[in-house]
């Protein structure tokens, strides 16, 4: 229904370049999640796709047709605004049904659809209220309702669940997944929530400072980040990155310790080593094992987070499944699961690991 092509898109406000060289092909029915730090241009990109923001340079195509100069209403795209943008003078039901009202759809159909959407979003009791009489989360759900009532060829969501409580957020997330399955429409979704990104996305696009850093499936980004930024941005808790000196089939840590990385030929170029908290093992001291002191220990029940200080290397974080009996001040050994270690060259580019054999 909607295949989108973004070709060399550039967005400038006066002299300020907000987005540059955005190239992306979005397949019909694909679920794309846009992530990136605040201010990196996610909303701007979404608004360019919606037609609300003129494209400074480059082409944007839907199903092969150039869209640059097509007005928003003719693009047949629904959008949930980051600011909600509810019509203050219309009650919840009219807010949700407004697009159908504009398109002069039959009143009966509009009513059933509004009722359905309200049901899905848990707003049935509130349909007569004006936006000013709603809580933040309720407003956000109305904003959602306004989009999902339609049957457009694409949906754009700008942090649609940011104001909801944890339970409601999970519920709405499933609802969006279901909507995607049911309609098969292309969806582009902006979020700061890792779980939303990893669970919903067919592909994740990581933006930083106006550039696309990497595009790939959630697992791709987790296992093979293209650079240090993506490595640290994707995955929670954040990957540990420590400075190293490259050698042959291994690297030297700041404390002089040698860490063997057999089978990897690009180790001489490494300047930094990245290792995720879940890829550190707590073991007894020994070769290829770092000595560390536990600084803060968080017992989460299902997991234990251990913030440690590695002698002469710096702070790191370890996450272990289950309840590990460790207390602040304890000395422990950390074994790096070298098959999961990431190496970065000067400038942050990842040095790819050899393709792993199926176990």
Partner 1 sequence: MSVTRTNPALTLGKYVALLAYLLFALFPLYWLVKIAITPDRLIFTEGTDLWPSTTTLDNFRTVIFQTDFMAFFGNSLYVSLGTAAVTTILAAGAGYAFSRFDFGGKKIIVAVMLITQMFPLLMIIAPIYKIVASLGMLNSLTSLIVVYTAFNIPFATFLMQSFFDAIPKDLEEAAMMDGCTRFQALRKVILPLTLPGLGATLGFVFTAAWSELLFALMLISDNESMTFPVGLLTFVSRFSVDWGQMMAAGSLALIPSCLFFIFIQRYLVQGLTSGAVKG
103 contacts which partner out of Mg ion, ligand ATP, partner 1, none, CB within 5 to 8 A by kind? partner 1
Residue 191 within binding range of Mg ion, rule CB under 5 A: no
How many residues bind Mg ion (CB under 5 A)? The answer is 2
Please, which residue, 50 or 221, has the CB nearer to partner 1? Answer: 50
The first and second tokens of residue 91, run together, are: 């009650």
Closest CA to 212 of 38, 34, 55, 16: 34
The first and second tokens of residue 299, run together, are: 């017992």
- Distances in Å between the alpha carbon of 209 and those of 18, 40, 52, 83, 204? 7, 5, 21, 22, 16
Site map 59..88 versus Mg ion, x via CB under 5 A: -----------------------x------
Please, which residue, 84 or 344, has the CB nearer to ligand ATP? Answer: 84
- Which listed residue (6, 11, 30, 43) binds Mg ion by CB under 5 A? 43
Please, which residue, 53 or 295, has the CB nearer to partner 1? Answer: 53
268 three-state secondary structure: helix
Please, which residue, 82 or 214, has the CB nearer to partner 1? Answer: 82
Please, which residue, 77 or 306, has the CB nearer to ligand ATP? Answer: 77
Q: Are 229 and 348 in contact (CB under 8 A)?
A: yes
The first and second tokens of residue 104, run together, are: 């002069």
DSSP state of 185: -
Looking at the DSSP bridge assignments, the partners of residue 204 are 33, 216
Please, which residue, 29 or 131, has the CB nearer to partner 1? Answer: 131
Q: Are strands 240-247 and 250-253 parallel, antiparallel or unpaired?
A: antiparallel
Report DSSP letters for 115-147, one per residue: HHHHHHHT-GGGTT--GGGS-HHHHHHHHHHHH
Please, which residue, 12 or 103, has the CB nearer to ligand ATP? Answer: 12
321 contacts which partner out of Mg ion, partner 1, ligand ATP, none, CB within 5 to 8 A by kind? none
Looking at the DSSP bridge assignments, the partners of residue 297 are 306
**Smallest distance, Å, CB 98 to partner 1?**
5
The residue range among 37-45, 198-206, 229-237, 260-268 that interacts with Mg ion, by the rule CB under 5 A, is 37-45
149 three-state secondary structure: coil
Burial class (CB in 10 A: 0-12, 13-18, 19+), 322: exposed
154 contacts which partner out of ligand ATP, partner 1, Mg ion, none, CB within 5 to 8 A by kind? none
72 contacts which partner out of Mg ion, ligand ATP, partner 1, none, CB within 5 to 8 A by kind? partner 1
Please, which residue, 11 or 319, has the CB nearer to partner 1? Answer: 11
**Smallest distance, Å, CB 159 to partner 1?**
10
- Chain contacts with ligand ATP (rule: CB under 6 A): 13, 16, 18, 36, 38-44, 82
Phi, psi of 215 (to 5 degrees): -125, 130
- Chain contacts with partner 1 (rule: CB under 8 A): 47, 50-52, 71-73, 77-79, 81-89, 98-99, 102-103, 130-134, 136, 139, 146, 163
Closest CA to 56 of 125, 113, 6: 6
Rounded to 5°, angle at Cα 45 from 39 and 48 = 135
Residue 304 within binding range of Mg ion, rule CB under 5 A: no
Give me the residues that bind Mg ion (CB under 5 A), please: 43, 82
């Amino acid at each position: 229904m909607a295949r989108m092509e973004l070709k060399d898109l550039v967005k400038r406000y006066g002299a300020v370049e907000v987005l540059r060289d955005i190239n992306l092909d979005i397949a019909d029915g694909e679920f794309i999640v846009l992530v990136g730090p605040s201010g990196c241009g996610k909303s701007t990109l979404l608004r360019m796709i919606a037609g609300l923001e003129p494209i400074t340079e480059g082409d944007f195509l839907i199903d092969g047709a150039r869209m640059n100069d097509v007005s928003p209403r003719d693009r047949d795209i629904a959008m949930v605004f980051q600011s909600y943008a509810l019509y203050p003078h219309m009650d919840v039901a009219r807010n949700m049904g407004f697009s159908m009202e504009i398109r002069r759809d039959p009143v009966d159909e509009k009513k059933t659809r509004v009722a359905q959407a309200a049901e899905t979003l848990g707003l049935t009791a509130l349909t007569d209220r004006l936006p000013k009489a709603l809580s933040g989360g309720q407003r956000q759900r109305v904003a959602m309702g306004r989009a999902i009532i339609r049957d457009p060829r694409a949906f754009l969501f700008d942090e649609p669940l940011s104001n909801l409580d944890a339970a409601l957020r999970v519920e709405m997330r499933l609802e969006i997944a279901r909507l995607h399955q049911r309609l098969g429409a292309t969806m582009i979704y902006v979020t700061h929530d890792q779980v939303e990104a990893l669970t919903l996305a067919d592909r994740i696009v990581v933006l930083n400072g106006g550039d696309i850093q990497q595009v790939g499936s959630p697992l791709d980004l987790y296992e093979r980040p293209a650079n240090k930024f993506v490595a640290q941005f994707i995955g929670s808790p954040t990957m540990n990155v420590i400075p190293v000196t490259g050698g042959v089939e291994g690297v030297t840590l700041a404390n002089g310790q040698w860490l063997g990385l057999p089978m990897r030929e690009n180790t001489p170029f490494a300047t930094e080593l990245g290792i995720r908290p879940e890829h550190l093992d707590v073991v007894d001291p020994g070769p290829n094992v770092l000595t560390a002191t536990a600084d803060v220990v968080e017992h989460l029940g299902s997991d234990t987070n251990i913030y440690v200080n590695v002698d002469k290397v710096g702070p790191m974080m370890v996450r272990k499944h289950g309840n590990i009996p460790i207390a602040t001040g304890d000395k422990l050994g950390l074994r790096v699961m070298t098959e999961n270690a990431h190496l970065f060259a000067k400038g942050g580019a990842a040095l790819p690991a050899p393709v792993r054999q199926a176990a």
